[in-house]
C-alpha cells in the first residue's frame, strides 16, 4: 500500500435496523480502505450485509430508522457527519452507484436520455442542450449504437445489456471518484456480462475511479478485483489482495465458497462440497464465530472457542495484508492437505508457489503495480 | 463428392427417406442404452398479434425452430444458451405445457407432440418438471403436504390414507424434515423450497425430469447442495434429465452431453469433454471464453476473451442463413445465403457452422459447401449435387463427416 491517504476509508461501520423483534445487525463493524484506480470486491451470500454497507456509503439510510455508526471517510470528509444537503451534493458527483436490476432501477416513464441528463444537471450549471450533448457523449462512450437516436428511447426499448450500459453512463457522467456496482452483471448473460466487465475496466482506466464491486460470483471477483472482502453475517471474515485470497484462503467460509461452485475446467467426477446448513439470522446471530454452526473445521480448535468467542479480524501467517476472522491455528496446511486436493488436485503445487505478494516461486513479482493508481485523481 | 454407402450394425440407415423411420428405434449411442426421449425438428412459433380490436397475427416469434436431440435413458443432456434462445420453451414443449407448432417428440418410442390432453394424462407421470423460481412455483396457500401429495391424488396412485406416509417419505428423500408436511412454503428458505419442488416432481416416480434452471435462483453455497441432491436422485432412481441452465460450469458438472442453443436452434452438441475442450462453433467458443474462471485468474490473470458485439437479434425476424452471422467474427457471404446444417463431425459431436474448427484453426473455405451442393459463396452450384445425408437427425450415427477430408463416412 502506498503512503498517500486512501480515497475511501471505512472504519467500524455498523448499520443496525431496529425491528419489533429486536435489532437486525445487517453490518456490524466493517473496515476497509480503497485507493483511486483500484477495485474492491465484496463477496458473500444474500443477507450477509454487502448491499447494506454500500448503500450506507451512499447515505441511502438517511431518513430511515436505520442506525448507522462508524466512519466513512471519502476525500477527507466523514460522510456520516455531514448534513443531508452536503450529502446530496456529493451523491452522484463524488460517489455513484450502479444497481443490480437496471429495469427496476430506471424510471419507466422518462426517456433514458432524460434520466442521464438529470444526474448531470443536478451537479452542473449547464443548459439542457449541453446536458443532452453530454448524455449522448456518455452513451457513445459506453458503447450504445446510434446514441443520438437512442437517447430519446424509453428504458423498455433497451435490451438488458444496453440498460446496464445506460446505468453505467448515468453513474459516470459526473466522473465520480468512487463507483459502487451492486451485482452489476447478475441479471445478464455471460457474453453480455463479459462486455460489461470489460467496459467497467476500460472506464476505470480512463477515469481513474475507484470501484467497489459487490457480487456473489467469485469468477467476477477473480477478474475484476484488486482486493477482496469476504462477508458473512454482517462482518468481514477475510480481507486481502485478490490473488492471495483465491490461492491461499484461510477462512473455512471462503473455502466453502470456492469448493461449492463447479469450475468450467474442473474435474467433472469430483463432487461439489456444499456448505452445510443455512445463512444465520442477523436478528439472533450465533454465539462466538457466526460461521461455527456451518463450519466443518471447528473441531480442530481446542475447547469450545469457536462457540464462545468471536475471533478478531487478524493477520494470519501470510503477512499483514491478508486478514481473517478465524481461530484455526494453521489454516494454510488444512487448505492444502484437505480442501484443495478435493476440489482441484492439479492446482495444489501451483497455488503453493504463490507468494504473499502475488509472485510465483522465487521469480520477480509479476503483479504489475497499476500505473493508473499513481496518477493523480482526474477531475473534469 | 463421396457416395460411400455406410452400413452400420445398429441400424442407423443413412438415406434421408429411411432416417426418420429408423430414428426412433436407433440406439442412443456408445453406452448401448436406448434414448428415452428423441426430439426431431421441433418447432414452436408464438403468434404476434397486432393491437386494436381485430387482433391480426402480424408475425411469429420463432422461439424454437427445428431442434433435434436425444436424451439417453438414465443419462442427462444439458441445454445451454443465453436468455431468449428458446431453451426454456424446449423444456416446456417436452413436458407438453405448450402445443408444438411442428416436429416430433418421441418419448419411449411414442410421439407425444400431437397428443390430446386426455391421452397425455398417463404420460404426465413419466415426464415431470422442476421450475426455476422456488418462490413463485409453489402455491403459498397450500401446505407442503398438499403440494407434494397433489400428484398422488390427481393420478389416483395410492389410496388417500397412504398419501401422507408417501409424502413424508419423499420429504425425507430430498433432505427435508418429514414432520414439516403441514408447514407453508413461506416458512422455508430458497434452497428448501427448491427441495419441495424436487419432491413434487419425484412424487410419481418419473422417468424423465426436465429441470429448468433448477439452481440459478439459489445462493452459491446452496446451489451445490441442490446439484448434489439431483445427482444422488439420478443415481438412485435412474431418472433421465434434460437439464436447462445458462451456467456453463453447472451444466458441465451435471451433464455428460451438452447442447448449445442460439436463437431457437442448436448450434453445437457434443459430449462435455469435446464441447468444453474442443468447441468448433464460434458461438460456443465465445460463450466459453466469457465465463469467468476463478482458478485461472488466481494463477495468472485472465484468459483471452472473444468479444461478441451487440445483442441477440429478435426471434421475430431472425437473420437469413446462419442465425449467428450478425455477431460472428467468421461470417462470410455464404453464411447469409445458406443455413449451415447441424453436421456430425465426430463420434459424439455435431456442429452447425460453415467454418467449423477449433479456435484459431477455422478453415478459410466453407467446409459444408460441397455437401450442400453450393459453391463457396453460397450460390447454387449446378455441378454439385447436395448430399442427402446432410439431413439433421436426433441421435449420433456411427459414421460422420470428416471435416479435414471433406467426405462423409469417417469412423474412429
Task: Identify the CATH number of the domain in which residue B393 sits.
Answer: 3.40.50.300
pLDDT (0 to 100) of residue B388: 62
**What is the domain extent for residue B303?**
16-48+60-126+206-410
Residue A260 contacts B, CB cutoff 8 Å: yes
Q: Is B190 part of any domain? A: no
Cα separation, A247 vs B134, whole angstroms: 34
Q: How far is B80 from chain A (nearest CA, A)?
A: 11
Please tell me the total count of domains within chain B. 1
Cα R_g (chain B), whole angstroms: 23
Cα separation, A9 vs A302, whole angstroms: 36
Does B260 score more than 90 pLDDT? yes
Q: pLDDT band for position B291 (50/70/90)?
A: confident
Q: What is the DSSP string of B234-270?
A: HHHHT-EEEEE-S-HHHHHHH-SEEEEEETTEEEEEE
pLDDT (0 to 100) of residue B149: 93
pLDDT (0 to 100) of residue A365: 38
Q: A359 or A15: which carries more pLDDT confidence? A: A15
Residue A293 contacts B, CB cutoff 8 Å: no
List of chain B residues whose C-beta atoms are within 8 Å of the C-beta of residue A191 = 82, 286-287, 290, 308
Across-strand partners of A74? Answer: A8, A77
Cα separation, B216 vs B226, whole angstroms: 11
* Helix or strand holding residue A250 (H, E): none
Q: Count the Cβ atoms, other than its own, within 10 Å of residue B194.
A: 30
Does B17 score more than 50 pLDDT? no
pLDDT (0 to 100) of residue B152: 92
Cα separation, A36 vs A38, whole angstroms: 5
Mean pLDDT of chain A: 85
What average pLDDT does this structure show over A160-186? 88
Q: Which of A214-228, B17-31, B161-175 has the lowest mean pLDDT?
A: B17-31
Which residues 272-291 on chain A approach chain B with CB closer than 8 angstroms?
A: 272-276, 278-279
What average pLDDT does this structure show over A308-336? 88
Q: Which of A83-92, A236-245, B211-220 has the lowest mean pLDDT?
A: B211-220
Please tell me which of the candidates A219, A262, A360 has its beta carbon nearest to residue B252: A262
What average pLDDT does this structure show over A28-51? 90
Does B387 score more than 80 pLDDT? no
Q: Count the Cβ atoms, other than its own, within 10 Å of residue B309.
A: 12
What average pLDDT does this structure show over A143-150? 87
| Domain residue ranges in chain A | 103-175, 243-352
Q: Which ipTM value was assigned to this complex?
A: 0.78
Q: What is the DSSP string of A109-175?
A: TS-HHHHHHHHHHHHS---HHHHHHHHHHHHHHTT-SSHHHHTTS-GGGS-HHHHHHHHHHHHHTT-
pLDDT (0 to 100) of residue A211: 95
List of chain A residues whose C-beta atoms are within 8 Å of the C-beta of residue B288 = 264
CB contact under 8 A, B253 and A266: yes
Does B28 score more than 60 pLDDT? no
Does A102 score more than 80 pLDDT? no
Across-strand partners of A73? Answer: A9, A78
Q: For the purposes of burial, counting CB atoms within 10 Å of the CB of B412, is it exposed (0-12), middle (13-18) or buried (19 or more)?
A: exposed
Q: Is B8 part of any domain? A: no
Cα separation, B254 vs B248, whole angstroms: 10
Q: Report pLDDT digits (tens) over B188-200.
A: 888 899 999 999 9
What average pLDDT does this structure show over A10-38? 92
DSSP, collapsed to helix, strand or coil, labels residue B13 as: coil
pLDDT (0 to 100) of residue B133: 84
Does A4 score more than 70 pLDDT? no
pLDDT (0 to 100) of residue B380: 79
pTM: 0.82
Mean pLDDT of chain B: 84
Q: What is the dihedral of CA B120, B125, B126, B132, to 10 degrees?
A: 100
pLDDT (0 to 100) of residue A380: 38
Q: pLDDT band for position B389 (50/70/90)?
A: low
Amino acid at each position: 500500500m502506498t503512503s498517500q491517504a486512501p480515497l475511501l476509508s471505512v472504519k467500524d461501520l455498523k448499520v443496525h435496523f431496529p425491528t419489533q423483534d429486536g435489532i437486525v445487525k445487517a453490518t456490524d463493524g466493517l473496515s476497509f480502505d480503497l485507493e483511486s484506480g483500484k477495485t474492491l470486491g465484496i463477496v458473500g451470500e444474500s443477507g450477509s450485509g454487502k448491499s447494506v454497507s454500500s448503500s450506507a456509503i451512499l447515505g441511502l439510510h438517511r431518513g430511515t430508522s436505520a442506525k448507522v455508526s462508524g466512519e466513512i471517510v471519502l476525500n477527507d470528509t466523514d460522510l456520516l457527519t455531514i448534513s443531508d444537503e452536503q450529502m446530496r451534493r456529493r451523491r452522484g458527483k463524488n460517489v455513484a452507484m450502479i444497481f443490480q436490476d437496471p429495469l427496476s432501477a430506471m424510471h419507466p416513464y422518462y426517456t433514458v436520455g432524460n434520466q442521464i441528463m438529470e444526474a448531470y444537471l443536478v451537479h452542473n450549471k449547464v443548459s439542457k442542450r449541453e446536458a443532452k450533448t453530454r448524455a449522448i457523449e456518455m452513451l457513445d462512450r459506453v458503447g450504445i449504437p446510434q446514441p443520438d437516436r437512442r437517447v430519446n428511447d424509453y428504458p423498455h426499448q433497451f435490451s438488458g445489456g444496453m440498460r446496464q450500459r445506460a446505468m453505467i453512463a448515468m453513474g459516470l457522467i459526473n466522473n465520480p471518484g468512487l463507483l459502487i456496482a451492486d451485482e452489476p452483471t447478475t441479471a445478464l448473460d455471460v457474453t453480455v456480462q463479459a462486455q460489461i466487465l470489460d467496459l467497467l475496466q476500460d472506464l476505470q482506466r480512463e477515469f481513474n475511479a475507484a470501484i467497489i464491486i459487490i457480487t456473489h460470483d467469485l469468477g467476477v471477483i477473480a477478474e475484476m478485483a484488486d482486493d477482496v472482502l469476504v462477508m458473512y453475517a454482517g462482518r468481514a471474515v477475510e480481507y486481502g489482495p485478490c490473488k492471495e485470497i483465491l490461492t491461499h484462503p484461510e477462512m473455512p467460509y471462503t473455502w466453502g465458497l470456492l469448493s461449492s461452485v463447479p469450475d468450467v475446467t474442473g474435474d467433472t467426477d469430483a463432487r461439489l462440497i456444499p456448505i452445510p446448513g443455512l445463512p444465520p439470522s442477523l436478528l439472533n446471530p450465533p454465539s462466538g464465530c457466526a460461521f461455527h454452526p456451518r463450519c466443518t473445521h471447528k473441531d480442530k480448535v481446542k475447547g469450545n472457542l469457536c462457540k464462545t468467542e468471536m475471533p478478531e479480524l487478524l493477520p494470519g501467517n501470510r503477512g499483514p495484508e491478508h486478514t481473517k476472522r478465524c481461530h484455526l491455528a494453521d489454516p494454510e496446511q488444512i487448505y492444502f492437505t484437505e480442501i484443495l486436493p478435493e476440489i482441484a488436485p492439479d492446482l495444489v503445487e501451483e497455488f503453493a508457489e504463490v507468494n504473499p505478494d502475488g509472485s510465483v516461486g522465487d521469480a520477480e513479482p509479476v503483479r504489475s503495480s497499476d500505473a493508473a493508481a499513481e496518477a493523480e485523481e482526474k477531475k473534469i | 463428392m463421396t457416395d460411400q454407402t455406410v452400413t452400420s450394425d445398429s441400424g442407423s440407415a443413412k438415406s434421408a427417406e429411411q432416417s426418420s423411420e429408423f430414428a426412433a428405434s436407433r440406439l442412443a449411442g456408445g453406452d448401448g442404452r436406448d434414448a428415452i426421449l428423441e426430439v426431431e425438428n421441433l418447432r414452436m412459433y408464438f403468434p404476434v398479434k397486432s393491437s386494436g380490436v381485430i387482433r391480426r397475427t402480424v408475425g411469429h416469434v420463432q422461439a424454437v425452430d427445428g431442434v433435434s436431440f436425444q436424451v439417453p435413458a438414465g443419462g442427462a443432456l444439458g441445454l445451454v444458451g443465453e436468455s431468449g434462445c428458446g431453451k426454456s420453451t424446449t423444456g416446456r414443449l417436452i413436458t407438453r405445457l405448450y402445443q408444438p407448432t411442428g416436429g416430433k417428440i418421441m418419448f419411449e418410442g411414442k410421439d407425444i407432440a400431437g397428443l390430446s390432453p386426455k391421452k397425455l394424462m398417463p404420460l404426465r407421470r413419466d415426464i415431470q418438471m422442476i421450475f426455476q423460481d422456488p418462490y413463485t412455483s409453489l402455491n403459498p396457500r397450500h401446505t407442503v403436504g398438499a403440494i407434494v401429495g397433489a400428484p398422488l391424488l390427481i393420478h389416483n396412485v395410492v389410496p388417500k390414507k397412504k398419501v401422507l406416509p408417501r409424502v413424508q417419505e419423499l420429504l425425507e428423500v430430498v433432505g427435508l424434515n418429514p414432520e414439516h408436511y403441514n408447514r407453508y412454503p413461506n416458512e422455508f428458505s430458497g434452497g428448501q423450497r427448491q427441495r419441495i419442488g424436487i419432491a413434487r416432481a419425484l412424487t410419481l416416480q418419473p422417468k424423465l425430469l426436465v429441470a429448468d434452471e433448477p439452481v440459478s435462483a439459489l445462493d452459491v453455497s446452496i446451489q451445490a447442495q441442490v446439484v448434489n441432491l439431483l445427482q444422488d436422485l439420478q443415481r438412485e432412481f435412474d431418472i433421465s434429465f434434460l437439464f436447462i441452465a445458462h451456467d456453463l460450469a453447472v451444466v458441465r458438472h451435471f451433464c455428460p452431453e451438452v447442447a448449445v442453443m442460439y436463437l431457437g436452434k442448436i448450434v453445437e452438441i457434443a459430449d462435455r469433454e469435446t464441447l468444453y475442450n474442443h468447441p468448433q462453433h464460434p458461438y460456443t467458443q465465445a460463450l466459453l471464453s466469457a465465463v469467468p474462471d476463478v482458478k485461472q485468474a488466481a494463477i495468472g490473470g485472465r484468459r483471452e476473451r472473444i468479444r461478441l458485439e451487440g445483442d441477440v437479434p429478435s426471434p421475430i425476424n431472425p437473420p437469413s442463413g446462419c442465425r449467428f452471422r450478425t455477431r460472428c467474427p467468421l461470417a462470410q457471404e455464404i453464411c447469409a445465403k445458406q443455413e449451415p446444417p447441424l453436421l456430425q463431425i465426430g463420434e459424439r459431436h455435431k456442429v452447425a457452422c460453415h467454418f467449423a474448427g477449433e479456435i484459431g484453426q477455422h478453415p478459410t473455405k466453407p467446409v459444408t459447401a460441397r455437401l450442400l451442393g453450393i459453391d463457396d459463396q453460397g450460390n447454387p452450384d449446378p455441378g454439385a449435387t447436395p448430399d442427402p445425408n446432410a439431413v439433421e437427425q436426433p441421435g449420433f450415427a456411427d459414421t460422420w463427416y470428416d471435416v479435414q477430408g471433406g467426405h462423409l463416412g469417417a469412423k474412429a
